[in-house]
A and B are shown apart, each in its own frame.
Chain A
Amino acid sequence: MITQTAPPTPPAAAVPPKPPAKRRRRPDLFRTLSRVLIMLIMIVQVYPLAWLFLTSLRTEHDFATGDPFALPGALTWENYARAFETGDLGRNILNSFVVTMGANILIVLLGMMAAYAIQVLGFRLSKLVRGLFLVGIIVPVQIALVPLFIDYAAVNLLDTYQSMIIPLAGFSLPMSVYLFCSFYEYIPKETYEAASLDGAGPYRIFGLITLPLSLNTVVTVVLVNSIFIWNDFIFANTFVLSEELKTIPLGLQNYIGAMGKVDWTATFAAVCVTITPLLLVFLVLNKAMIQGLESGATKG
């Protein structure tokens, strides 16, 4: 792999080509430049988050007066104590968990069913149905706010878990359907024919063959959607009013006190607490998640 003269992957050009005279030294210069650039952009991507965490460990006085780039003078967990006093973080995390679980169950189950009908069973209007699902990917979620608000008010669904779960699942369903469809394409026809000859009907085949084979895709679908559902702000903000149902994004808003006075270090501590669950999942499963995100775009 490590041959100096013929690198296995020629780097792409983000830098204009240099005169041929320098050709022999070019790979090294280019490498160094691109490394520096990558590091710089990496700092921009990661430093704010590190700063967020460091600030949550600062004393209030230090935060209000010190150089923001300086390392904290003294570390304190005080802010975390105040964060838990101010808000009901446990409750918020639990609510986010309920909503994420609920929406994911719907997305996975219904996504599999739709894909099974479209790809495996097949029917005359299947192309039309696929097209309909494309609409949900293109249109912005805000379109549903006013109508759903009115409909929920009519059927007493405002301020419930369902009011968040339904639109979150609905708008994530298309991507899930497409992912399952593209996976079902690769299950060989012979598998189904063999099962059919053994007398299995469409329901048994779904339960005994398609469903167990789909597990990898299920992981992908769940991981990709969970990021968006866990962090949803707009549906929760529109449909939920009572404190007991507030999810993490809404709970965090409580830290902006009356008159806009904010206890910043405690707020940052609360932010750190709330991003931890998803961050842990992401760091542990990042390979699967990254693969999922890639395939979500290329197959969808």
Chain B
Amino acid sequence: MLPTRMLPNRSRTSVLVFLLPPLLLYCAAVLFPILQSLFLSFFSWNGISDMEFVGLANYARMFTKDDVFWRAFLNALLYLAICLVLQLGGALVVASLLTSLRRGRELIKTLYLLPAVISTVAIAFLFVRIYSLEPVGLLNQLLQSIGLGSLERPWLSDVNTVLAAVSAPEGWRFTGLYMLIIYAALLAVPKELEEAAVLDGASRWTLFTKIRFPYIRPVWITTTIMATTYGLRGFDIPYLMTNGGPGQSSELLTTYMYKTAFTSTDFGYASTISVFIVVECLVAVGLILFLLKRKSDA
């Protein structure tokens, strides 16, 4: 494709004047650190002594000797799965329901989005109290009052529930955001298409699977990518609520990397984990594009 050029006479210098400052910031903050991580991942370094080149030793350690790494990786995948179900599933259901509402849509959109403007630290505080057992928090009280008192537990110190407990707030806070995006896409589905389908006697389910969903597929792909990359970078809430504990039961790759870097000051190994996280994100995006695009061709 030829480059778009709207201005007939522009000098090469003018391009550089406009392009260099943004690229400089972007390289300094994003691109260069990625390369630097890749570089550091071949070294052993605690930030003070001399850097020591170790080749692929960090990678060998990560893949073959480090149980915590694998635990954190599996946890991160589970965390992602819970976030995706809450965010995308919840968003799709609510957005679909919302289109059937006649009034109050604007108010509902605003209210749903509220959690997204609140800082993760505030959310972590809030959910610590919701999950708490002593004094009894909202969740345990609710279980009690609907007769499920036997399920009461300290959600954040129970190794079986802690991962789900730290994932739910992350899912909760962004459901509204994805709902908005999907809702906007659903509104753009041409009414004639839907009306024609209804005249042909299509059920709501057919209408949804055959008309609406295929129509919003491009937006759905974008949303899935957004939610996935955000889920994979999840850090604040688990870090603040449990710091990965108890034991390693809510450790994610991101929190493990952070602790390796800033608690154990093992910059080399932390960079190795960083590189893995980047690769993981790229693979995830590639996979989503591959799976969702292919389905639409079929």
B119:A140 contact, CB within 8 angstroms: no
Task: Report yes or no: B258 in contact with A142, Cβ–Cβ below 8 A.
Answer: yes
A49 near B118 with CB under 8 A, answer yes
Q: How far is the CA of A46 from the CA of B126 in the complex (A)?
A: 12
Hey, what's the 0/1 contact readout for B218-260 against A, CB within 8 Å counting as 1? 0100110110010011011000100000000000001001100
In the complex, which residue of chain A has the Cβ closest to the Cβ of B286? A138
In whole angstroms, how far apart are the Cα atoms of A149 and B29 in the complex?
11
Contact of B18 among A113, A148, A187 (CB under 8 A): A113
Expressed in whole angstroms, the Cα–Cα distance for A132 and B10 within the complex equals 24
Q: A116-B18, A293-B181 are in contact. Are A170 and B120 (CB under 8 A)?
A: no
When the two chains form their complex, are residues B102 and A46 in contact, meaning their CB atoms are under 8 A apart?
Answer: no
Chain B neighbourhood of A120, CB < 8 A: 6-7
A257 at the interface (CB under 8 A from B): no
Q: For A244, what are the chain B residues with a Cβ–Cβ distance below 8 Å? A: none
> Which of B20-28, B56-64, B66-74, B147-155 is the interface stretch?
B20-28
- Contact in complex: A234, B236 (CB < 8 Å): yes
Q: Given A12-B186, A41-B90, A46-B111: A170 and B97 within 8 A (CB)?
A: no
Residues of A within 8 A of B97 (CB): 11-12, 14, 34, 37-38
> A45-B111, A293-B180 known; A38 and B118 CB under 8 Å?
no
Partner of A166, one of B25, B37, B274: B25
Q: Does any Cβ of B come within 8 Å of A294's Cβ?
A: yes
CB-CB under 8 A from A74, the residues of chain B are: none
Query: Which residues of chain A from 134 to 160 have a CB within 8 Å of any chain B CB?
Result: 135-151, 153
Determine if A169 and B236 form an interchain contact, defined as CB atoms under 8 angstroms apart: no
- Asked if B164 lies at the interface with its beta carbon under 8 angstroms from chain A, I say no
Which residues of chain B from 63 to 102 have any CB-CB distance to chain A below 8 Å in the complex? 90, 93-94, 96-102
Most buried by A among B97, B110, B198: B97
Write out the residue numbers on chain A whose beta carbons fall within 8 Å of the beta carbon of B167: none
Having A113-B18, A278-B117, one finds 15 other A-B pairs with CB under 8 Å, namely: A12-B99, A38-B94, A41-B90, A52-B122, A64-B135, A122-B6, A132-B31, A139-B30, A147-B32, A147-B36, A149-B262, A173-B30, A174-B26, A252-B125, A297-B226
